[in-house]
Amino acid sequence: MLMGNTSVAQIRQMIFNRIDTYNGLGDDRVYHILQIRDGRMAITTHNAVSVYDAVTFRNIPLDASKGMRLDAYNGAYHCYVGKNHLLWIKDNHRLKCLDVASLSFVNKVEEKIKAITGKDRIIDFFCDLDGEVWCVTSDYHLVGKEGKSYTLPKNKGELQDLMNDDNCLYLFYANTEVVAINKTTGKILYTSRAFTNNRYSGTSLVVPAGKGRFYQLRNDNEGGVCLVFDTKTQKWNTIFTVPYAAHTITVAHKMAYVTTKEEMWEINTSTDEAHVVEQLTLEGTPILTKHMNTVYVDNQGGVWLGSYSNGLLYSHPTHRTPSTNEALGLEDYARSKNTSVTYPLMPIITDVNINGTSLQGTETMARLYTSDTLSLEYSQRNATITFNALNYPQPRLTRYLVRLHDKDTLWHSPEELGSTTDDRGSLILGNIPLHSGNNTIDIKAMLDNHSYVHSVCIIVERWWAANIPLYICIIIILIHVVLLFSNIIQEKQEESNQSITLDDTNQEFIDKARALVVANLRTKGYSVEQLSVDMCMERTGLYKKMNATIGCSPSAFIRNIRLERAIELLTTNNGMSVQDVAEAVGFNSASYMSRCFVSEYGATPLEYIKKYKKNSVH
């Protein structure tokens, strides 16, 4: 998801709403909060991981995975968002892995780790800021993707955290020392230690603070400390200390928030000045911050707090009166008609329902998550598809428009298509006329004057594939008919095999249309409407003429020419990437071009190139 306006108000000015098991949260004891790469929230509780899309919680029990043992991990609860739709959880000497595409735990974590690093045995695990996996092996090497390895210094003690930037890996050790390693050479560039008296060596939590700096929370039996490390000066500074545990820290635009055992802290990231936040406003009532266990700021600027026993608290900077900065509840905000909303509303498919049965947790939904492509059998073409815009601050105010990309270019309200937007803010798309083959649907989510579009491809099985048993019976009957009326069948076959020839007028029409499309391949937005204008025809007249002449629609005609040109560019040694080719031939994105390739040629562009080169060699 794209980042929106992440400006965060001072937390004391915001009004919070409670979200707990009554709303569907898996458990009210919240341990960790983070945001998945598609924009959904992942809340780890005592009993489950709850994946939230602003409307519905999907709860995956933690006891569904035993995970793998990490002998060297002695720290507290820690979660990472990795690549390839994986969520990694470290706790109590164990590593668990949740596949957020299928919403299920990976059964054999050891095999998943080996596939990434090539190593059988690891004793600790980390993810860097890019979501790449790093593992500590029993022979004290740090191993990353495709076996990239660094020898770790053996006199530093326990490695507790790992961060990275473009040039360096930063290793944070229990002795409060950071070791900067050159990514390319593996050489140690420098070391810097925060304390020399063995204080705060128990646990560590590091987050990026911007401008080459990191914030770190450290704890021992005597209390906690919040530090800042500057990679440019290679120096540490103490922001504050407390005589009890410091739990979590999150950094947003110009602000950072820290939860401790007794209160919250607010840090100005420009000056590193810290202040205690003694109380918050929960639905109009002041509450103490000592009950907060964890904090997170999402990419919409919303603040999430996890409590020890009362579930989640959520607020957004818009949840206050703009003129007075007083706290404002959700429904009051709706009435205030604030038009300054700029956060992203990326509509995603959250459920597919066929004949009353949800496809959640199936391979079909997993493939949809990773490719924006939904494959349905012909008998499933009347499926009900639920979209959600991930509008956490005000889901009920989301408006939707739908465009059936393969049929027209007009946007329709859900009601025009026999669908609806429910009272929770989800688009329930049903009764959509899906045909056999590829169906591209655009969903536009809107709030105030801002809108975001997401396209999905729904591939419906050819109608004849659903009736194979019937065809077997028909074939048997036809065999007897052929034996009895071979001459008639032969005549019919000859008639059906005659090629369609174009007269001179029709050939001139097709040649002119092709020339216009080829000339405008690089013209963004060149559509059927523009082609009809250039041909001096009405859109419906162009459709009828082209369909009668060559048997395909104008949109298919344009797409096929784009694909032909794409093949020419892909199979010539010009160094162009798939993205470059997609742009050169007028596709909106490389992913859409790939779906068209699969539909037309049964292979992705990269697979097509590989097959072409193999055939060329032979």
Q: What is the pLDDT of residues 342-382, one digit of tens each?
A: 677 888 888 998 888 888 878 888 888 878 888 888 888 88
On whether both 404 and 509 belong to a single domain, the answer is no
Radius of gyration of the chain (CA): 29
- What 3-state DSSP class applies to 467? helix
In a domain, 45, yes or no: no
Is 90 exceeded by the pLDDT of residue 251? yes
Is 90 exceeded by the pLDDT of residue 226? yes
On whether both 372 and 443 belong to a single domain, the answer is yes
Is 90 exceeded by the pLDDT of residue 231? yes
The CATH number for 455's domain is 2.60.40.10
- From the CB of residue 556, how many other CB atoms can be counted at a distance below 10 Å? 16
For residue 562, the surrounding DSSP H or E stretch is helix 554-571
On whether both 408 and 513 belong to a single domain, the answer is no
On whether both 612 and 507 belong to a single domain, the answer is yes
What are the C-alpha distances in Å from 459 to residues 288, 364, 372, 375, 480?
53, 12, 11, 5, 36
Please report the beta strands in 370-436, taking only residues with DSSP state E, as ranges in sequence order: 373-376, 384-388, 399-404, 420-421, 426-429
- What's the domain count of the chain? 2
On whether both 448 and 357 belong to a single domain, the answer is yes
Are the beta carbons of 174 and 180 closer than 8 angstroms?
A: no
- From the CB of residue 24, how many other CB atoms can be counted at a distance below 10 Å? 14
Are the beta carbons of 57 and 23 closer than 8 angstroms?
A: yes
Are the beta carbons of 310 and 22 closer than 8 angstroms?
A: no
Higher pLDDT, 305 or 11: 305
Mean pLDDT of the chain: 84
In a domain, 120, yes or no: no
Helices (H), 27-120: 109-117
pLDDT at 321: 43
Domain boundary among the residues 399, 433, 461 is at 461
Q: How far apart are CA 233 and CA 482, in angstroms?
A: 88
In a domain, 516, yes or no: yes
For residue 352, the surrounding DSSP H or E stretch is strand 348-354
pLDDT at 237: 97
In a domain, 277, yes or no: no
Q: How confident is the model at residue 328 (pLDDT cuts 50, 70, 90)?
A: very low
Rounded average pLDDT over 118-139? 90
The CATH number for 535's domain is 1.10.10.60
Is 50 exceeded by the pLDDT of residue 571? yes
Q: How confident is the model at residue 2 (pLDDT cuts 50, 70, 90)?
A: very low
**Paired sense of beta strands 159-164 and 312-315, if any:** unpaired
Are the beta carbons of 411 and 403 closer than 8 angstroms?
A: yes
Rounded average pLDDT over 40-63? 93
Q: How far apart are CA 20 and CA 28, in angstroms?
A: 6
Share of the chain above pLDDT 90, in %: 37
**DSSP for 258-311, written as a single string:** EEESS-EEEEETTTTEEEEE-EEEETTEEEEGGGEEEEEE-TTS-EEEEESSS-
For residue 567, the surrounding DSSP H or E stretch is helix 554-571
- From the CB of residue 548, how many other CB atoms can be counted at a distance below 10 Å? 9
Q: How far apart are CA 295 and CA 304, in angstroms?
A: 6
Is 90 exceeded by the pLDDT of residue 584? no
Domain boundary among the residues 461, 492, 518 is at 461
Q: How far apart are CA 209 and CA 186, in angstroms?
A: 25
On whether both 457 and 507 belong to a single domain, the answer is no
- From the CB of residue 571, how many other CB atoms can be counted at a distance below 10 Å? 13
On whether both 450 and 516 belong to a single domain, the answer is no
pLDDT at 494: 47
Q: How confident is the model at residue 3 (pLDDT cuts 50, 70, 90)?
A: very low
Higher pLDDT, 467 or 6: 467
Q: How far apart are CA 7 and CA 14, in angstroms?
A: 13
pLDDT at 296: 95
Are the beta carbons of 396 and 423 closer than 8 angstroms?
A: yes
In a domain, 391, yes or no: yes
The boundaries of the domain holding residue 609 are 503-617
On whether both 454 and 535 belong to a single domain, the answer is no
**Paired sense of beta strands 279-282 and 15-19, if any:** parallel
- Where b means 16+ CB within 10 Å and e means fewer, 466-491 reads beeeeeeeeeeeeeeeeeeeeeeeee
On whether both 510 and 444 belong to a single domain, the answer is no
pLDDT at 155: 83
Cα 451 off chain centre by = 18
pLDDT at 31: 93
In a domain, 427, yes or no: yes
On whether both 452 and 508 belong to a single domain, the answer is no
DSSP symbol at 7: B
On whether both 444 and 362 belong to a single domain, the answer is yes
In a domain, 585, yes or no: yes
Q: How confident is the model at residue 505 (pLDDT cuts 50, 70, 90)?
A: confident
In a domain, 441, yes or no: yes
Which region, left, alpha or beta, applies to residue 163 given φ > 0 means left and ψ of -120 to 50 means alpha?
beta
Q: How confident is the model at residue 336 (pLDDT cuts 50, 70, 90)?
A: very low
Residues comprising the chain, all counted = 618
For residue 541, the surrounding DSSP H or E stretch is helix 539-550
Q: How far apart are CA 585 and CA 524, in angstroms?
A: 10
Q: What is the pLDDT of residues 377-418, one digit of tens each?
A: 888 888 899 999 999 988 888 999 999 876 778 899 999 888
pLDDT at 324: 44
Rounded average pLDDT over 107-121? 86
User: Which residue from 261, 279, 258, 307 is spatially nearest to 13, judged by alpha carbons?
Assistant: 279
DSSP symbol at 603: S
Domain boundary among the residues 430, 461, 492 is at 461
Cα angle, residue 461 at apex, residues 460 and 462 outer, rounded to 5°:
115
On whether both 358 and 453 belong to a single domain, the answer is yes
